[in-house]
Each structure stands twice: as C-alpha cells, then as structure tokens.
Amino acid sequence: MIYFDLMKDACDDVHMSFNEDKYNKFILYKDLLKEWNEKINLTAITEDEAIIKKHFIDCIKAFKFQEFKEAKSIIDVGTGAGFPGLPVGIMNENTNVLLLDSLNKRVNFLNDVIDKLELKNFKTLHGRAEEVSRKKEYREKFHIATSRAVANMCVLSELCLPYVKVGGYFVALKGPAVEEELSDARNAIGLLGGKLETIIPVEVEGTDLNHNLVIIKKVKETPAVYPRKATSITKKPIK
C-alpha cells in the first residue's frame, strides 16, 4: 500500500472516491505494464513511483473535467498502453470505454490487463483512427473522445472529433505549451464541428508537471469528407 495515500490525495483533489480495490487494480496494471514492456515498447517510464505519478495520477486528473464523471461512453483514440482510458474507466465503472489502437501488439496487452483486472466496462479495437470513424457504428457515437500525447491539435482534432456526438466533448491531455497548438488548430476545430470551451490546468502530486485538459465541445456534425486519409492529415493539416 506504499502509494495508496499518494493516489488517494490525487483522487480527493478531483472529488473521486478511492479504495483498496481500485488501488490493487492499479498496482496489477503497473506490474503488467512493466512485464509487457520487456517484450514490446509501451512506455519509457519504468520506475514504479514514476508510473504512478506520470501515468496513473496524470490520467486520473482528467476528472477535473466534470463530464468524465457523467459520460456513459468514452473512446480513447491512440490509447497505446491504455492512457488515459484505462485509469479513467478503472475510476468510473459506470463509463463504457473503448480503447482504440493501430498496433495489434498493444491491443493484446490491453486485453490482458482487462482480463486480469476483471474489468467489465472496457472493449478494445484494433484499427486506424481515421478509418474506424468512418464506420457507422462508431461515427458520432461517443459522449467523449479523448487522447493523450498522440499528435498536435490540428491532427488530433481531425482524428477525434468525428467520434463525438453533437453535445459531447473531445478532451485532449496536453503539456504546458498548448496555446500555440490551439492557435494553429482553431480553424480545424471549427471546421470539424468543435468549439474550444476551456483549458483546465492540471498539477500532478509529487512532481513539477504542469499539464492541461483542452476541452472542445462538439457543436455540429463533422462534415462527411473528414477525416481524410492519414497522409493528408499529417502532411496537409487543416489550417
């Protein structure tokens, strides 16, 4: 229980309940992350305390945005090792979370975590974000689309906003220098049906990390031509 108080303090800060059962799930998640990381590249952060702070607590801070507590459906786009989707879903079992990633090896890891933690509110999907959102069963079906450390806001908006239903939110977990990204992405966000609502600053207990939650509200449907093919999204981002 060495990290219990640290995690509970973080949960108290965002007004989320924390108990021994949730703590044990996070510790098993940490152990599986380290085990799988020896076989496939999941994270450069490998020390226990750093994983707790820089991955788990950083993701738990997403609950500073109230909608994460109330959302019934979340998609984590480019989830990688499960961040932020797995910590969010562990904390809120009433939210159904879809973890989307383009690399099958990472999806296999996520399935192992879900199985061993006996998580009932998760599904995984192997696929490319710009292709999956063109499928009827996923397009504009989610209360929240979220992503962490995947791409700049121009690219990320085109990948994520097509998943969000009108009235829902795209939430990007970003570092301290987000203002310039948002300035470049303002036209893209509007064209894709979004509107910047707010930026919520985040501090992580026991670190000097200062991150931000970028909150984009979906105010109209995304035009059918978006998202474009991957090469166009990255080489010719919407300006």
The structure's pTM equals 0.96
Q: What digits encode the pLDDT tens for the residues 87-104?
A: 999 999 999 999 999 999
Strands (E) located in 102-221? 122-126, 142-148, 164-174, 194-203, 210-218
Per-residue model confidence (pLDDT) at position 191: 97
User: Residues with Cβ < 8 Å from 150, sequence gap 6 or more?
Assistant: 77, 78, 80, 156, 159
Residue 92's SS3 state is coil
Q: What is the mean pLDDT of residues 48-70?
A: 97
Q: Find, among 152, 170, 168, 150, the residue nearest to 214 by Cα.
A: 170
pLDDT band at residue 239 under the 50/70/90 scheme:
confident
Q: What digits encode the pLDDT tens for the residues 170-219?
A: 999 998 888 888 999 999 999 999 999 999 999 988 888 889 999 999 99
Strands (E) located in 18-121? 73-77, 96-101
Per-residue model confidence (pLDDT) at position 136: 97
Bridge partners of residue 74, in order along the sequence: 97, 144
pLDDT band at residue 62 under the 50/70/90 scheme:
very high
> Burial code of 168-184, b = ≥16 C-beta within 10 A, e = fewer?
bbbbbbbeeebeebbee
Q: What digits encode the pLDDT tens for the residues 113-128?
A: 999 999 999 999 999 9
Per-residue model confidence (pLDDT) at position 176: 85
pLDDT band at residue 21 under the 50/70/90 scheme:
very high
Q: What is the mean pLDDT of residues 128-154?
A: 94
Cβ count within 10 A of residue 43: 16
Please report the domains of the chain, with CATH numbers, ordered by start residue: 4-235 (3.40.50.150)
Per-residue model confidence (pLDDT) at position 177: 81
Query: Is pLDDT at 150 greater than 80 in this prediction?
Result: no
